[in-house]
Structure 1
Amino acid sequence: MRKFITSVLLMSFVACSAPALAREENPFITSKEIDLIKLLPPPPANDSPQTKAELGEILALQVARTPEMVARSQADATEDIWRFADVMGVKFKPDQLPLFTKFFLRVVASEGAVVDTYKEVWKRPRPYLYSDLVKPVVKLSHSGAYPSGHATAGTLMGIVLSNMVPEKRAEIMARAAEYANNRIVGGVHYRSDIETGRITGTVIAARLQTREDFKTGFDAAKKELRGVLELGPEPAENM
């Protein structure tokens, strides 16, 4: 009986540990490989003219935003590659792209594994925590605002996706920019959070391209995607 109980406890421990181990192994890269303190300036001080100007932008958008803008910002609160579906077309669906889906889960996880550490270092208050005048329309977060994780993820996803489908690079990167900007529309980020998020996303994308595990996953996901979208061989100038 004692051996049976020991076995059950051991299996329970393994089962509970497996998801945690999977999460740790899931990102391609973490904050151990990218030091944002050396890359980015510190966020503007709360009482600085820059923060006040950025707050003014948020409040102006708050007055001007339409129901369509609100709906778009709410939909873009989700961090996943499928927010690019309006650019990629009707065949761009997870059930048709299993390798692509798995690959981009690791890409998006890399954003959090890098950025979350430094949000805790800088601890910039969200606009709605700084000013009662800000009325956010998206899900609230009490993590640090700087840099924007969504802007980082959107830029990172956009770069990787456009490298798979260079024929749509302009549209993809325009969508990535809108995705990032919708965090200001939603009232949860300042402009400087977005700008540094774009820098961070670009740096992560460049660093990932030096990793063999990323290259292997990228090639398989790209082949699957281009096949599903019936795009044929990649244009020669992009190969």
Structure 2
Amino acid sequence: MTGTAVRAAHVFLLALLALGGQALAQADEAQPEVTDPHFQIAPGYLKQSDLPNSLMLLGPPPETGSAALARDEEARSATIPLRNTERWKLAHADADLAFPQAADHFSCAMGVRIDSGQTPRLYAMMQKMLSDFGLSTYGVKNKYNRVRLFVVHNEATCRADQEAILRSDGSYPSGHTAAGWGWALVFAQINPERSDALLKRGIEFGQSRVVCDAHWQSDVDAGRIMGAATVARLQTDPTFLADLEAVKAEVKAAKQVPSVSECAAEAAALSER
């Protein structure tokens, strides 16, 4: 083989290697099948390969006849008296992950109105994090495709308009809970003086899924694990950290606060047991 031919072969080999590397990168970035459109509102901070792996962090959902499933049934039974109460109505509101409603869920706990006008950086940050939190759950969601408790018990949820999506979307773990708990953890960083109120709201945001009859308790527990794992990973992302500092200043400067009456109503609903 001549020198020219050798060089041409070398170039061709390098090109093949480059294409192979590109193909591997694209495969690594392949998105899981995402049934819930709420988790595709905006591109997240993290690449797919950088998200926490739910297949490594979570075991399977409770098995039929297990003590864990009995606990799930007990948790469901405990929420039955809350149906059609103010707590049920709050669960109905918490089920909405579409913006602008999603941004307002934590306004009372934050002590400032969270919206695109007063806190645009936080508003955008919430949308980006929502994708990260939701996508972190889909490895296990798609593997087990757990049936929702309202389907098992042939009941209605607090959101009839969402039931068609829920029937085809795996129940375990809860993406709503991952988002609510993840948001709460980050909000506690942003406004540490209100961290207890924010974390409490994050806990109740997840419990709304059980109240709504949309998730088993073990779905909610697993969702919190994925939300926390995603927040831990976000702490290493430079873009997120830069946004975090900017949002701290934005919230500190915010003037508009939620009304006393709406926050009192929320507190009263959360106190129902």
Q: TM-score range by the shorter chain?
A: 0.7 to 0.9
CA distance in 2, matches of 1:59, 1:31: 37
Are 1:149 and 2:170 counterparts? no
- From the superposition, tell whether residues 159 and 229 of structure 1 become closer, same or farther in structure 2 (CA, over 3 Å): farther
Are 1:48 and 2:66 counterparts? yes
TM-score, scaled to structure 2: 0.70
Task: Provide the residue aligned with 1:214 in structure 2.
Answer: 240
Give 5+ residue unaligned stretches, structure 2.
1-39, 257-273
- Residues 147-179 of structure 1, C-alpha deviation per residue, up to 9 Å, x if partnerless? 111110011000111101000000000000011
- Residues 204-225 of structure 1, C-alpha deviation per residue, up to 9 Å, x if partnerless? 0011001111111211222212
- From the superposition, tell whether residues 31 and 42 of structure 1 become closer, same or farther in structure 2 (CA, over 3 Å): farther
Identity %: 26
Q: 4+ residue runs of structure 1 moved beyond 6 angstroms? A: none
Task: Provide the residue aligned with 1:95 in structure 2.
Answer: 117
Q: Which has the larger radius of gyration?
A: 2
CA distance in 2, matches of 1:182, 1:157: 15
- Residues 117-148 of structure 1, C-alpha deviation per residue, up to 9 Å, x if partnerless? 4311121110012222x432223212111111
Task: Provide the residue aligned with 1:185 in structure 2.
Answer: 211
CA distance in 2, matches of 1:185, 1:84: 18
Are 1:203 and 2:224 counterparts? no
- From the superposition, tell whether residues 76 and 37 of structure 1 become closer, same or farther in structure 2 (CA, over 3 Å): same
Kept after mapping to 1: 8 A contact 2:149/2:215: yes
Aligned-residue CA RMSD (Å): 2.1
- Residues 160-201 of structure 1, C-alpha deviation per residue, up to 9 Å, x if partnerless? 111010000000000000110010000011111111111111
Give 5+ residue unaligned stretches, structure 1.
1-22, 231-239
**How many residues were matched structurally?**
207
TM-score, scaled to structure 1: 0.79
Are 1:63 and 2:81 counterparts? yes
When structure 1 is superposed on structure 2, of 94-103 and 46-55 the one drifting more is: 46-55
CA distance in 2, matches of 1:67, 1:41: 34
